[in-house]
A and B are shown apart, each in its own frame.
Chain A
Amino acid sequence: MSSETMLRTENLTFEYIRRDEEGNVEGITTAVDGVDLEVKKGEFISILGHNGSGKSTLAKHFNALLFPTEGTVFVDGMNTSDASNLWSVRQEAGMVFQNPDNQIIGQVVEEDVGFGPENMGVPTKEIWERVEESLKTVGMYEFRKSSPNHLSGGQKQRVSIAGVIAMHPKCIIFDEPTAMLDPNGRKEVIRAARALNDVEGITIILITHYMEEVIYSDKVFVMDKGHVKMQGTPREIFSQVDKLKDLRLGVPQVTLLAHELRQRGLNIPEGILDRKELVAALKGLKWQ
């Protein structure tokens, strides 16, 4: 494995076992089924899929919160199933969850950000440095003395992100971080994630079902029923509008419009990602 690899899964399979009241096995649900994927350091990856496609289950494997039933997961070359790697895996691969209220532990913003470093046994003075630095990174430094209950959803998620950055991870997994936020909050969180990727070079794995959020990523994986059904750059993925529809996923409005126009005979390229591109393509058309 090259040193450039951040995450790698080999034939990763995970089964949820359902039991009845007596504890007998009632049925087995395979949430993730034979997934092989590789993420390089510094990449911005998105994982798409509708509800129940196994994308969140997959994400929890990268942080050693779940362990594979079959196959292996490597985080920075460490096998997550190996108990001696547990804490280094969790430190290197931070995780931001969906519900901002349920992942903030501290009663004051700065205390929450300090929670991770405290657990890692970082000396007091360095905790303060890390807290200050990470709150500044996400632009929440002026709120350091506030109670999390007084913040908006987007601000709470930024505090959660700061809490992860303070642990100095190499990779951050965002598990549907915007699902409970309003459009403004969504923008705040995605902007913070992109900045971390651009400026700090942290590998980002964004799990989402909002198409608009994935257009900035280097690579997109589309999941369905526990399998990776499609992978490629956002442009490659979004040029296959019909295939995405089969997987019950929509595409960004602009992409859809361009697709429909193309089908009606306009000569514009597939996989248009934003409004500017569409305008340029339309301007380039010759009137017949």
Chain B
Amino acid sequence: MLRDITLGQYYQTDSAIHRLDPRVKIVATLVYIVSLFVVDNFIGYLIAAAFLVLAIMKSNVPAKFIFKGMKAIYLLLLITMLFNLFLTPGEPLVTFWKLKITKEGLKIAVMMGVRLVFLITGSSIMTLTTTPNQLTDGMESLMNPLKVFHVPVHEISMMMSIALRFIPILMEETDKIMKAQMARGADFESGSLIQRAKSLIPLLVPLFISAFRRAGDLAMAMEARCYRGGEGRTKMKPLAYKKWDIFAYIVIFVYLCAMIAVGILF
């Protein structure tokens, strides 16, 4: 059933990482990504790996789910590694025909590969342990200072959460329209690529019309319930840091210091 799809890839369980404030997790992920691109030696990668293993263990998410995200990027990973392997100039190790593998190329290729794997794993821990709702709330709260530069922070997060709410509804609607058009002889499956793209028009036009109608209805319903933007709005579920969140911040800070120290010393 389409209505049962879950968005993002939230894995429902209880763990120390699940209970952390979404802001902590977003900051940690950002710090982690930055640290991966700063570090360029073996010890640094060892620390990054240790941090990652610790987070995975604490999250109670089966490793199977964490590495599922890798499937989506393995092609990208392969291409990145191959390009770096063959196209980096330097001291040649192996040469066949016009291609040569250099020592520098090998080093960069391995480094890029490890970086990408760590990056994807690290950010999937965040999305696996945080509901889309919490993520939106966390982002709204973190981006709050941007209001000074007239960034519509509240509006962006409101749009994100409404989009999340309506994706399943629109999917269901797509399914309905598709069946209705198929019942009247539409063919979505055969023909060349161009023909198939063309056959999507009778699906997309009604879908867009209905989406706009829904948007109009929703706007009216929101106004009827006194919605007037973020000004003067209170929160039903305000974000509040707990003791563990502070502790997590300290861990992240220590990790960052260690990475910087390793970068300077080695």
Complex A-B: 7 CB contacts under 8 Å: A87-B228, A111-B237, A115-B227, A124-B236, A124-B238, A131-B236, A163-B225
A105 contact from B218, B226, B234, B237, Cβ within 8 A: B218
In terms of DSSP, what is the predominant structure of the interface of chain B? helix
B110 at the A interface (CB under 8 A) = no
A122 at the B interface (CB under 8 A) = yes
CB pair A118–B233 under 8 Å, yes or no, is yes
Interface stretch, picked from B21-29, B101-109, B158-166, B249-257, is B158-166
Cα(A111)–Cα(B236), bound, Å: 7
From B2, which residue of chain A is reached at the shortest CB distance? A149
The smallest beta-carbon distance between B216 and chain A, in angstroms, is 9
The smallest beta-carbon distance between B259 and chain A, in angstroms, is 37
Interface set, chain B 39-80, CB cutoff 8 A to A = none
The smallest beta-carbon distance between B47 and chain A, in angstroms, is 38
Q: Which residues of B pack against A, CB within 8 Å? A: 3, 132-133, 161-162, 164-165, 168-169, 214, 217-218, 220-228, 232-238
In terms of DSSP, what is the predominant structure of the interface of chain A? helix
The smallest beta-carbon distance between A113 and chain B, in angstroms, is 9
From A111, which residue of chain B is reached at the shortest CB distance? B236
Cα(A128)–Cα(B153), bound, Å: 25
Q: Which residues of A contact B221 (CB under 8 A)?
A: 95, 97, 102-103, 105
Cα(A111)–Cα(B162), bound, Å: 12
Given contacts A102-B217, A149-B3, contact A116 B234 (CB under 8 A): no
B217 contact from A97, A124, A148, Cβ within 8 A: A97
B224 contact from A95, A101, A107, A118, Cβ within 8 A: A95
A167 at the B interface (CB under 8 A) = yes
A91 at the B interface (CB under 8 A) = yes
From A131, which residue of chain B is reached at the shortest CB distance? B236
CB pair B224–A122 under 8 Å, yes or no, is no
Q: Which residues of B contact A106 (CB under 8 A)?
A: 165
CB pair B234–A121 under 8 Å, yes or no, is yes
The smallest beta-carbon distance between B32 and chain A, in angstroms, is 28
Q: Which residues of A contact B232 (CB under 8 A)?
A: 121
Q: Which residues of B contact A128 (CB under 8 A)?
A: 236
Q: Which residues of B contact A87 (CB under 8 A)?
A: 226, 228
Cα(A101)–Cα(B170), bound, Å: 11
Residue from B3, B133, B161, B226 whose CB has the most chain A CB atoms within 10 Å: B226
CB pair A117–B236 under 8 Å, yes or no, is yes
The smallest beta-carbon distance between B158 and chain A, in angstroms, is 9
Size bracket, chain A contacts: 35 or more
Q: Which residues of A contact B165 (CB under 8 A)?
A: 104-107, 148
The smallest beta-carbon distance between B5 and chain A, in angstroms, is 10
Cα(A244)–Cα(B232), bound, Å: 49
Closest 3 CB pairs of A and B: A103-B221, A102-B217, A114-B236
CB pair B223–A120 under 8 Å, yes or no, is no
A63 at the B interface (CB under 8 A) = yes
Interface set, chain A 220-265, CB cutoff 8 A to B = none
From A95, which residue of chain B is reached at the shortest CB distance? B224
From A164, which residue of chain B is reached at the shortest CB distance? B225
CB pair B133–A108 under 8 Å, yes or no, is yes
Q: Which residues of A contact B217 (CB under 8 A)?
A: 97, 99, 102-103
Residue from A103, A123, A148, A163 whose CB has the most chain B CB atoms within 10 Å: A103
Given contacts A107-B161, A149-B168, contact A115 B218 (CB under 8 A): no
A119 at the B interface (CB under 8 A) = yes
Q: Which residues of B contact A202 (CB under 8 A)?
A: none
Cα(A99)–Cα(B133), bound, Å: 24
Given contacts A118-B233, A118-B236, contact A91 B218 (CB under 8 A): no
Given contacts A87-B226, A101-B214, contact A122 B234 (CB under 8 A): yes
Given contacts A65-B223, A94-B224, A119-B225, contact A105 B233 (CB under 8 A): no
The smallest beta-carbon distance between A119 and chain B, in angstroms, is 4
Cα(A105)–Cα(B163), bound, Å: 10
A90 at the B interface (CB under 8 A) = yes
The smallest beta-carbon distance between A172 and chain B, in angstroms, is 11
A102 contact from B3, B168, B214, B233, Cβ within 8 A: B214
CB pair B168–A105 under 8 Å, yes or no, is no
Given contacts A108-B133, A128-B236, contact A120 B226 (CB under 8 A): yes
